[in-house]
Structure 1
């Protein structure tokens, strides 16, 4: 799980790409309050994006979705 805007020289998009290079099946959840339109072009395959603010139940559903998909 990563925020899209990490603000310390690397974006969440890039972080996920680097992790997927080392572990191709690693599940990725992006969080954002502004960058949803970029998800289709910047996000890694099989990832999920959740808009902030979100309720705990929404987060649980997203994580469950990834685990059930076996990404």
Structure 2
């Protein structure tokens, strides 16, 4: 059995991170959760976590936004899979997002989240 794909999860709210970790786990993924864009960037640059996708809230409090985080990660690794989560910033997605990204609007179900990650990564998992 191959190791689960690790997803770098960025949200400044611990409860939401916990919900996302459970949803990803149920979907067959692993979550590496951080609470700010700056920590996410250093975690990504460090590379020890081996994350294969970014799942980020757009509004991350006082630091860099999810939009900016994704752009910086794409400068390091072009084409890196990005999923944005937002409630209020959905209208900005077309102008602010990186190419080929996915947006899921809060609130979402665990199944919607796992499906978005699977679709973006095209993990090739065939339905049971």
TM-score, length-scaled by structure 2: 0.52
Following TM superposition, the consecutive aligned residue runs of length 4 or more in structure 1 with deviations greater than 3 angstroms are none
Paired residue total? 69
Distance 1:15 1:62 in 2: 19
Question: Counterpart in 2 of 1:48?
Answer: 102
Instruction: Point out where structure 1 has 5 or more consecutive residues left out of the alignment.
Output: none
More strand by share: 2
Q: 1:63 maps to which residue?
A: 117
Q: CA deviation at 1:7?
A: 1.1
What's the secondary structure of 2:122's corresponding residue? helix
TM-score, length-scaled by structure 1: 0.92
Bigger Rg, which one = 2
C-alpha RMSD of matched pairs (Å): 1.2
1:34 aligns with 2:88: yes
Q: Does 1 or 2 have the higher relative contact order (CA < 8 Å, sep 6+)? A: 1
